[in-house]
Structure 1
Amino acid sequence: MNKIFTKVILVLCVLLWTGFSASAQSIVVSGTVMDKLTKEPIPGVSVTVKGKTVGSSTDQSGKFSFTTTEKPPFTLAVSFVGFNTVEREITSTSTGLTFELESGAILGQEVVVSASRTPERILESPVTIERMGQAQIKEAAAPSFYDAIQNIKGVEMSTQSLTFRSYNTRGFNANGNTRFNQLIDGMDNQAPGLNFSVGNIVGITELDVDNVELLPGASSALYGAGGISGTLLMTSKDPFKYQGVSFQLKTGLNHVNDSNTDNPQEFRQFDMRMAKSWNNKFGAKFAFSFLQATDWFGTNRSNFDRASNMPKSGDRVSDPNYDGVNVYGDEVSQNMRAVNGNVEAATRQALLTASGGLFNAQTALNNLPAGTPYPNYIGFINANVPAALRSTVINQYLPFYYAQRNPSVLPNQNVSRTGYDEINLVDYDTKSLKMSGGLYYNFTPTIQLMAQANWGTGTSVYTGSDRYSLRNFNIGLYKLELKGEDFYLRGYTTQERSGDSYISSILGSYVNEKTKASTAWFPQYIGTYVGARLNPAITDAQAHAAARAAADGNRAQPGSAQFENYANQIKNTYISQTNMANGVYGAKFDDKSNLYHYEGMYNFSRLFNNVVEFQVGASARKYDLNSGGTIFADLTEEIDIDEYAAFGQLGKKFGEAFKLTVAGRFDKSQNFEGRFTPRVTGVWTVAKNSNIRASFQTGFRNPTTQNQYIDLSVGGGSQRLIGGLPSFLNRYN
């Protein structure tokens, strides 16, 4: 019965569609598209009815043909990457049309906005600008447009992982560059808890990027704090200009001939974009991207000296205090004599307490002269120490007493715990999912209201003050903006969520602690070492090997159920919940920091009949730090940072040959004094398309949120980073 019903419905739908198609008379639209300069046909050109999704693309001969139910007059839009879009109204004949496209990528004629916040030819911009348009993006020999930025003149890239890259154009680079601004459609996409952009993990997708503009020099006068080493502006496509549905699939291989994997690993990325406008009044777009791959492995086992912050020779076998670069847990290190002295004093006190204050082991054993052989101490203990205490004195006290009284037995050096390789602690299964969308409404041809959202989540690896495994973290940017030809009002927020991210070095260290606490591991190591050294036939290296084997007994091995159980407990426990006394250990972040930003600008040039160019603007920003005590000192207090700024720019053209522009910006952060940054530029037009420019500009940055309020355990829990504000000076005294 259900099958018959389905067939009936299907037949009815076909009949209805046929009737509709017959009633709606279709017309054929056809023609040819060619290059205006060379007269050669251009394949792949998009030809659509403006404001509609109906259309086609040209074939290898530059020809196109499609049918539409639209009745003349209607407008055809012809567009192709690297060429200027052509629009033509069709009033009668719709076949045999000819379109000639003119290249829009003429060197020096590209229009840029970033140099002075107003459109101008790149050759006439007052400061140096590098630009990537759609033609360059499409032809870039790189996995993505963001990777291709490193090919721009003067750009340096620092790579932390497959999806995490940092750019720099001036001075020294850093894994997280806080001196470099990165904006997406006017939004600062820095992570509020980090104060730098996490690459393009949350940002524009490959199919939605329109252009990229880079200011290589200082740019704080227009774009605020942070622009010391440059400013990168990425602009997405306008749904009124770029409509339709597009898909893209990329695949490749990495880890070829890599001993860490059995086979090469596949790289896959899928992108999609949809955009539509109605009557040039309302527009909408949606973009999606998903990447999956195996990240690069951290396999640098070189030895590192944390005291001198320099590499050193040796490995786990030859150096008792070995600390491998990509080995975690071995950061925990203690001096052998210091531990010995602490254990001797604690055990002596315990014996004194157990005897009711009547037996001081050190006083008793000091009755023997210096240099007394070890066996003689045992004989003395058996003859003079109460029977109830003999075993404890011989096994738990004597080795440490003997080493303290005979320093030659115990070297004055550090030993470190045995660590775990990064590959056993970090999630290398890289994923990156990005989604963006926007709704646009044109009140007039020049005034537009837009609501825009960019959201991304993923798994990656980041190297900062430590090695961080970023798992399932996400960042969202949400904006509401009203703009016209001469003004804009914009408000946006950046929402950062750490997901399941954790510190890999602390994970390695705490797996060790769960297996055997350092308070037990180091005494066992030293006691075994001393016992081995009493045998003249045992070398120092052999004694260390025996001591490590004994102390590492029952150690959780990577891949074992014990290791996985301990690691999962630690990865799912927040850093702030760590309580070593109760055996609770956590390496997980709990960051839910937010940024709120509001700004506006007005261009008065039209009011002055363009005799001068005059712009003013202002902004306000709030950092709302919420890490639950896992990054910042906010476990018991709220931390907000307010910042304000105002800027102005005045430009005047003297004749047709010289233009002078003066700009300035004042920034104030609640924790620091205000800062004024000026910029003065001059452009002298020597001849058509030949200009000489000179500029003076400055840049600065406020101390980052972490510079101010960080309170973070690093180095496997052996060190702590604290903020630089005066309130932190005596925090741990």
Structure 2
Amino acid sequence: MRVYLLILSLFFCGVSFAQSTISGSVTDAKKESIPGANINVVGESSGASTDFDGSFTLKSSRNLPLTIKITAVGYETKTINVTSASQKINVSLAEERTMLNEIVVSASRTPERVIESPVTIERMGIQDVKNTTAPSFYEGLENLKEVVFNTSSISFKSVNTRGFATVANTRFMQLVDGMDNSSPALNFVLGNLIGLNDLDVASVELLPGASSALYGANAFNGILFMNSKSPFTYQGISTYFKYGQTTQDVAGTNDYVDFGFRGATAFGKHFALKANFNFVRATEWIADDLRSLTGGSIGHEHNQNYDGLNTYGDEVTTFIPNVGQVSRTGYHEKDLNNNKAESVKADFAMHFKPWDNETEIIFQYKLGIGSTIYQGANRYSLKNFFMDQTKIEVKGKNFFARVYMTTEDAGDSYDMRFAGWNINRAAKSDTEWFTNYATAYQYAGAVMGTNADQSANIARSFADYNVLPAAISFIPKPTGLPRFEPGTPQFNTAFANVTSNPNLTEGAKFIDHSKLYHSDVNYNFKDLIKFAEIQVGGSWREYVMNSEGTIFTDYDGPLNYKEYGAYTQLAKKFMDDRLKFTGSIRYDKSQNFKGNVSPRVSFVYSAGESKVHNFRVSYQTGFRNPTTQDQYIGLDLGPFALIGSAPENLDRFTEVRNVSPAGQAAGNPATVEMSGQNAYHNAYTVASVQAFAASSNPKDLVVANIGLVKPEEVQAFEVGYRSVVRDFSIDLNAYYNIYNNFMNTARVISPYYGKVGTDVTNPDVLQSYQALAFGDRRVYQVYTNTSAQITSFGVGAGLSKKVYKDFEVGVSYNYSQFNFDQSKDPGFVAGFNTPKHRIKGSFGNSKLFKNFGFNMNVRWNTAYLWEASFADGIVPENTVFDAQVNYGIPKLKSVIKVGATNIFGKDYIQVIGAGLIGQQWFASWTINP
């Protein structure tokens, strides 16, 4: 807080050392102001931007005369010669009829027009942020034509491009001011938890496809760049306040609050500061899917083995002779967290320009604190989760070098499934509960003559609440306590104890103090080498995993491993600059894997007299290293354990298992020690063990030949066309991807003793059959690669046009499909999780009449299969309509905006197991002088 007070005092008390001051205004052809236009002194890095009414004040260290350049998204660039300090600069910019001339950097790591990009690229600028119909710019990304969102909760949304994505989309990379803001521990992006607030967004660029040739591992299916505003160019204090409400069938109607602040100032040409703050509070989209994962009806009344999708504790189940399979009574997810989402983001940056050139030194610090819900193998309440990033960067006209550190703290986060299990156990152990159930069930039938459902309900009442009908009240009372009902003091005490205990046999808390260190450099030789534009660069990264043994096998201290990479790129134009060739190649090496080479080759040809018909073709490869979880997790989930496949991890994970009385009678010890070696090198497939249990035929058993996980690879072929034809902006693309060594998880069963195999004459093999028959076996989930080759194919088309005056209409269509031979890997789960058909449309006018604009968006997709470790199911077809209107008040330097999402629609879902997405309306007041 003291730092921010100091920053504010500097904003108000700063002294300028500039020698020349230039004032003016920027308007369009209709003499309406253009806010957010950039004004730069040619040959100098100093600049300014227009405020709400189009006016600007530019301070320069140079003496007059000088030349300024005025640019604005959607308008043609203009340069003006300034000869006198009294000269009033009133500039009128002509509108561009296409957005394809916008400048992007991410596609080739060098500035180029969108229309000349060698790969498909999507962009969101300052004006797009203003016009978005979503509550925030990040949520507005869903309206880009290549994007599908996977929504885990109201504040946890992950970007899916080109398929094969769960909520934890580790195949997609997200950079904020050049920093990877994924979790150091689990390597997935936490939405916009530590991203940007709307006031500080300069541009967003999205590459929906393999990008490893320039950006290395994990830029596999796409990469998102979020770039903030420079305090040298965008100065002043801006703020906004949003209030609205969310409505969901389960959660009802609840308040939504969002507040943002940005302050920036430059102290002459050499030093500038900025600070941002953002606070959001809302009620979650509550997950309350009651479908039974074990089949049968919903609820225990007619289904004694009921396991509800969003109830936890009922996964604990056992087979009781003469009764059947029975599960404990679970707790609804909505009773295991407070269903409140909260996010606090802040950042501070100091920018130095020590010399009179474009060299700039940046120190930046970002932090995010929040509470939200994440869905992986289980549903997790991320409570008071904390992440921060610290960066030092030096950049100039043709180079940059940066180093940053990311740290995270899980705070009070916990696993809701384990919370349900262990709150139940705090009242009564599993053994006593099932014994109570069996006793009451059998006495009810024998003494009272009840049917199966009646006996089951009597048994559950006794096991849960120690209550019996009078006819069988002679049954001895349990020693355990009655079930803790949500909201009672007993439940609250048990909940607090369980969620603060990191021992998953008794608690649900997980600990994470992991870190990530990263550095990368790039140099462009375009001023030194003239025959082509050549770049070189490289990166280095170190992961430090520190979960204190609650997630990883870091029981004896933090684990760490390193990665590095280097690349070069050559770009050259031929045929009167009509044909542009770009070739790049990158080498990456991870500590635990062989090195990987990623090439990319692309051609862009500009046809037509004005070079407006741009055809592109590219080939590139991408790869993804196994995540920290894939390599080093060692997590006992009760019914099964997760085992990462790093060679050292197989020995690090150990557990002691109790041998059954039958197994001991056969000459085996009372306990055995199991390790990760058992999971990967001495196990049968789950399906074959199930077949063996039904037939008792050893021929049904299949040895699980599980290889250690290695990087997955993709070969990506893409063609595209961009143009402007009769005021139609056209963007077409098609891609074909070939995936090899696709990462996958598998369930296996390892016997406590004996050696797996099919040789019935081998005593060790026979001993493994005996272990399976006695129930002396352990289920593991392991990380490996499929032998099946997977291909995916997609096409995309985007059209936009101004149809009447300033009305603009846009429409896009995407088709996505994948294929693989299931027979080559019967247990493989693809997890494509992407609709085959998607259509998006927009219609708006930012200048409907003076100071008033509006915009509308509609999204439609076909139904599709969702496959993930938590649950599988069909995501239904849905249509979503969003809209907003905005009104400017120049005298107050303000914009009033009212918007709503999912207008007229029913609650819909994007992730099986997550809450249905309801409706949201909001009103905002933005002050941007």
Residue 680 of structure 1 and its aligned partner are, at CA, apart by 0.8
Give the 3 Å change call, closer, same or farther, for CA 268–58 of structure 1 in structure 2: closer
Structure 1 vs Structure 2: percent identity of aligned residues?
40
1:707 aligns with 2:700: no
Residue in structure 2 matching 1:641, options 535, 550, 561: 561
Residue in structure 2 matching 1:729, options 677, 694, 714: 677
**Partner in structure 2 of residue 653 of structure 1:** 573
Residue in structure 2 matching 1:630, options 536, 547, 550: 550
Amino acid at match of 2:136: S
Residue in structure 2 matching 1:276, options 260, 265, 276: 265
Amino acid at match of 2:347: S
Helix, strand or coil for the counterpart of 2:508? coil
**Residues 104 and 110 of structure 1 are in contact (CA less than 8 Å); yes or no, is this contact kept in structure 2?**
no
CA root-mean-square deviation: 3.0
**Partner in structure 2 of residue 151 of structure 1:** 143
1:682 aligns with 2:603: yes
CA distance in structure 1 between the partners assigned to 2:619 and 2:46 by the alignment: 48
**Partner in structure 2 of residue 454 of structure 1:** 366
**Partner in structure 2 of residue 184 of structure 1:** 176
Give the 3 Å change call, closer, same or farther, for CA 516–210 of structure 1 in structure 2: same
Helix, strand or coil for the counterpart of 2:629? helix
**Partner in structure 1 of residue 663 of structure 2:** none
Residue 249 of structure 1 and its aligned partner are, at CA, apart by 1.0
| Residues 374-400 of structure 1: per-residue CA shift (max 9 Å, x gap) | xxxxxxxxxxxxxxxxxxxxxxxxxxx
Amino acid at match of 2:563: E
Residue in structure 2 matching 1:40, options 26, 31, 36: 31
- Superposed, 1:553-564 pairs within 5 Å as 553=465, 554-564=482-492
Matched positions, count: 609
**Partner in structure 2 of residue 93 of structure 1:** 86
Give the 3 Å change call, closer, same or farther, for CA 510–85 of structure 1 in structure 2: farther
CA distance in structure 2 between the partners assigned to 1:278 and 1:28 by the alignment: 14
Give the 3 Å change call, closer, same or farther, for CA 29–668 of structure 1 in structure 2: closer
1:233 aligns with 2:225: yes
Amino acid at match of 2:625: N
Give the 3 Å change call, closer, same or farther, for CA 77–457 of structure 1 in structure 2: farther
**Residues 548 and 557 of structure 2 are in contact (CA less than 8 Å); yes or no, is this contact kept in structure 1?**
no
**Partner in structure 2 of residue 475 of structure 1:** 387
Helix, strand or coil for the counterpart of 2:501? coil
| Residues 371-429 of structure 1: per-residue CA shift (max 9 Å, x gap) | xxxxxxxxxxxxxxxxxxxxxxxxxxxxxxxxxxxxxxx14x21011001111102311
Residue in structure 2 matching 1:298, options 287, 295, 298: 287
Residue in structure 2 matching 1:213, options 181, 197, 205: 205
- Superposed, 1:497-512 pairs within 5 Å as 497-512=409-424
**Residues 46 and 269 of structure 2 are in contact (CA less than 8 Å); yes or no, is this contact kept in structure 1?**
no
TM-score normalised by L of structure 2: 0.62
CA distance in structure 1 between the partners assigned to 2:360 and 2:566 by the alignment: 24
**Residues 429 and 459 of structure 1 are in contact (CA less than 8 Å); yes or no, is this contact kept in structure 2?**
yes
Amino acid at match of 1:613: E
Residue 101 of structure 1 and its aligned partner are, at CA, apart by 3.1
Give the 3 Å change call, closer, same or farther, for CA 29–697 of structure 1 in structure 2: closer
**Residues 584 and 599 of structure 2 are in contact (CA less than 8 Å); yes or no, is this contact kept in structure 1?**
yes
**Partner in structure 2 of residue 434 of structure 1:** 345
Amino acid at match of 2:27: M
Residue 318 of structure 1 and its aligned partner are, at CA, apart by 1.0
Give the 3 Å change call, closer, same or farther, for CA 241–255 of structure 1 in structure 2: same
**Partner in structure 2 of residue 407 of structure 1:** none
**Partner in structure 1 of residue 528 of structure 2:** 607
| Residues 26-55 of structure 1: per-residue CA shift (max 9 Å, x gap) | x999866431xx243326578999999999
Residue 471 of structure 1 and its aligned partner are, at CA, apart by 0.3
Residue 81 of structure 1 and its aligned partner are, at CA, apart by 6.5
1:137 aligns with 2:129: yes
Helix, strand or coil for the counterpart of 1:197? coil
Give the 3 Å change call, closer, same or farther, for CA 105–144 of structure 1 in structure 2: farther
Residue in structure 2 matching 1:519, options 431, 434, 445: 431
Residue 489 of structure 1 and its aligned partner are, at CA, apart by 1.2
**Residues 49 and 234 of structure 2 are in contact (CA less than 8 Å); yes or no, is this contact kept in structure 1?**
no
CA distance in structure 1 between the partners assigned to 2:47 and 2:105 by the alignment: 30
- Superposed, 1:43-62 pairs within 5 Å as 57=51
Amino acid at match of 2:490: Q
**Residues 253 and 267 of structure 1 are in contact (CA less than 8 Å); yes or no, is this contact kept in structure 2?**
yes
CA distance in structure 2 between the partners assigned to 1:290 and 1:77 by the alignment: 36
Give the 3 Å change call, closer, same or farther, for CA 202–170 of structure 1 in structure 2: same
Helix, strand or coil for the counterpart of 2:630? helix
Helix, strand or coil for the counterpart of 2:447? coil
**Partner in structure 2 of residue 333 of structure 1:** 317
Helix, strand or coil for the counterpart of 1:150? helix
Helix, strand or coil for the counterpart of 2:623? coil
Residue in structure 2 matching 1:540, options 434, 452, 475: 452
CA distance in structure 2 between the partners assigned to 1:555 and 1:707 by the alignment: 37
**What 5-or-longer segments of structure 2 have no aligned partner?**
1-19, 466-481, 651-675, 680-749, 753-929
CA distance in structure 2 between the partners assigned to 1:165 and 1:214 by the alignment: 16
Give the 3 Å change call, closer, same or farther, for CA 275–79 of structure 1 in structure 2: farther
Amino acid at match of 2:499: K
CA distance in structure 2 between the partners assigned to 1:77 and 1:267 by the alignment: 41
Residue 85 of structure 1 and its aligned partner are, at CA, apart by 8.5
| Residues 334-393 of structure 1: per-residue CA shift (max 9 Å, x gap) | 1112xxxxxxxxxxxxxxxxxxxxxxxxxxxxxxxxxxxxxxxxxxxxxxxxxxxxxxxx
| Residues 212-237 of structure 1: per-residue CA shift (max 9 Å, x gap) | 11111111111111122111111111
CA distance in structure 2 between the partners assigned to 1:67 and 1:177 by the alignment: 43
CA distance in structure 2 between the partners assigned to 1:207 and 1:592 by the alignment: 31
Residue 712 of structure 1 and its aligned partner are, at CA, apart by 2.3
**Residues 45 and 78 of structure 1 are in contact (CA less than 8 Å); yes or no, is this contact kept in structure 2?**
no
Residue 718 of structure 1 and its aligned partner are, at CA, apart by 3.3
**Partner in structure 2 of residue 617 of structure 1:** 537
Residue 260 of structure 1 and its aligned partner are, at CA, apart by 3.9
| Residues 481-527 of structure 1: per-residue CA shift (max 9 Å, x gap) | 11112221111111111010000010111000000011211111111
Residue 113 of structure 1 and its aligned partner are, at CA, apart by 0.7
| Residues 450-498 of structure 1: per-residue CA shift (max 9 Å, x gap) | 1111110100001110000000001111111111122211111111110
Give the 3 Å change call, closer, same or farther, for CA 119–692 of structure 1 in structure 2: same
Residue 82 of structure 1 and its aligned partner are, at CA, apart by 5.0
The structure that is helix-richer by fraction is 1
**Residues 601 and 617 of structure 1 are in contact (CA less than 8 Å); yes or no, is this contact kept in structure 2?**
yes
CA distance in structure 2 between the partners assigned to 1:697 and 1:48 by the alignment: 38
Residue 725 of structure 1 and its aligned partner are, at CA, apart by 2.9
CA distance in structure 2 between the partners assigned to 1:81 and 1:649 by the alignment: 29
**Residues 591 and 628 of structure 1 are in contact (CA less than 8 Å); yes or no, is this contact kept in structure 2?**
yes
Helix, strand or coil for the counterpart of 1:325? coil
Please say which of residues 556-565 and 121-130 is displaced more in the overlay. Answer: 121-130
Give the 3 Å change call, closer, same or farther, for CA 55–483 of structure 1 in structure 2: closer
**Residues 172 and 221 of structure 2 are in contact (CA less than 8 Å); yes or no, is this contact kept in structure 1?**
yes
| Residues 292-314 of structure 1: per-residue CA shift (max 9 Å, x gap) | 11111111111113xxxxx6544
CA distance in structure 1 between the partners assigned to 2:427 and 2:420 by the alignment: 11
CA distance in structure 2 between the partners assigned to 1:222 and 1:476 by the alignment: 26
Please say which of residues 104-113 and 561-570 is displaced more in the overlay. Answer: 104-113
**Partner in structure 1 of residue 773 of structure 2:** none
Residue in structure 2 matching 1:423, options 322, 334, 341: 334
| Residues 166-212 of structure 1: per-residue CA shift (max 9 Å, x gap) | 11111232111000111111111110111111011111111111111
Residue in structure 1 matching 2:502, options 539, 562, 574: 574
| Residues 128-174 of structure 1: per-residue CA shift (max 9 Å, x gap) | 11111111121111111111111111211100011111111112321
- Superposed, 1:233-252 pairs within 5 Å as 233-252=225-244
CA distance in structure 2 between the partners assigned to 1:312 and 1:536 by the alignment: 26
Helix, strand or coil for the counterpart of 1:699? strand
**Residues 22 and 85 of structure 2 are in contact (CA less than 8 Å); yes or no, is this contact kept in structure 1?**
no
Amino acid at match of 2:460: R
Residue 636 of structure 1 and its aligned partner are, at CA, apart by 2.0
Residue 719 of structure 1 and its aligned partner are, at CA, apart by 3.0
Residue 640 of structure 1 and its aligned partner are, at CA, apart by 0.6
CA distance in structure 1 between the partners assigned to 2:188 and 2:408 by the alignment: 12
The structure that is strand-richer by fraction is 2
